[in-house]
Amino acid sequence: MSVRKLKPITPAQRFRVVNGFDAITTDKPEKSLLDSKKRTGGRNNKGKMTVRHRGGGHKRRYRIIDFKRNKFDVSAEVKTIEYDPNRSAFIALVQYTDGEKRYIVAPNGLQVGQQIQSGENAAPEVGNALPLSKIPLGTIISCIELTPGNGATIARSAGAFAQLMAREGKFATVKLPSGETRLILVNSLAVIGAVSNSDHQLLVSGKAGRSRWLGRRPRTRPVAMNPIDHPMGGGEGRASGGHPRNRNGVPAKGYRTRDRKKASNKFIVERRKK
């Protein structure tokens, strides 16, 4: 994977950095795994805006991804590595020996023609999905289930990975991408390897229009608002602001919002770093 810096032939291209797409092998998705994707523009069922800065953007079709990897002990061949407009990571089209095709989140280093498998008997190799009980300690993993059988929920975005640190009883200790160390049930599935497209963090849009293509609308700085609109608004000239906080007055940048009585607190061994 690589990135390309464009020649500054226009103001927008002066700082623009785009993905090289070296790993992509086709630009035509599998039709049987496509679905429609309805957009809300940040509105709820009453038409009221509940999420700001959303709307517009290029039309997308959803790729049905297999996050459960529940076709056990059946090998599959990687057919293509593809771009997915709905996520930062690349996806891989795999075909099982019985002919079924599925999309999976592509791990880093997955190659076309490679054989992958999921289940307790799978080898701990890149692309294979195993329970945490069968993965060697210290292994880099991604697409981890928090609840066994519910499908991957942790470490799914581009370049993300976690590390299996220890096992004791029915729990495994996993160091998550945020820096948090957490206990996860050992019968939860995880994929060997980090997620693909790790250069995603190096991309630079170059112009405001690219954000609009992605469905992001402009955001007004809070200090430019009036006091009625935001706690950080108002003041004469630039004498405004104060402590950073959101529209509801909840402080940002260091203020902990996690519920102290949350049931899952007992599974957190070490909090993420500030």
- For tokens 């935001």, the residue is 230
Contact assessment for residue 90 and residue 81, using Cβ atoms and an 8 Å cutoff: yes
**Amino acid at the residue 206:** G
Query: What pLDDT is recorded for position 8?
Result: 95
Q: What structural domains and CATH numbers belong to the chain?
A: 3-201 (2.40.50.140)
Average pLDDT on 226-230 reads 94
Query: What pLDDT is recorded for position 2?
Result: 86
For residue range 39-59, list pLDDT tens digits in order. Answer: 999 999 999 999 999 999 999
Contact assessment for residue 104 and residue 69, using Cβ atoms and an 8 Å cutoff: yes
Query: What pLDDT is recorded for position 238?
Result: 83
Residue 274 has pLDDT above 70, yes or no: no
What 3-state class would DSSP assign to 164?
strand
Average pLDDT on 196-217 reads 95
> What percent of the chain has pLDDT above 90?
94
For residue range 125-163, list pLDDT tens digits in order. Answer: 999 999 999 999 999 999 999 999 999 999 999 999 999
Residue 239 has pLDDT above 80, yes or no: yes
Helices (H), the chain: 208-213
User: Considering the entire predicted model, what is its pTM?
Assistant: 0.91
Task: In whole angstroms, give the CA distance from residue 15 to residue 208.
Answer: 12
Nearest to 121 by CA among 130, 133, 111, 112: 130
For residue 273, name the pLDDT band (cuts at 50, 70, 90): confident
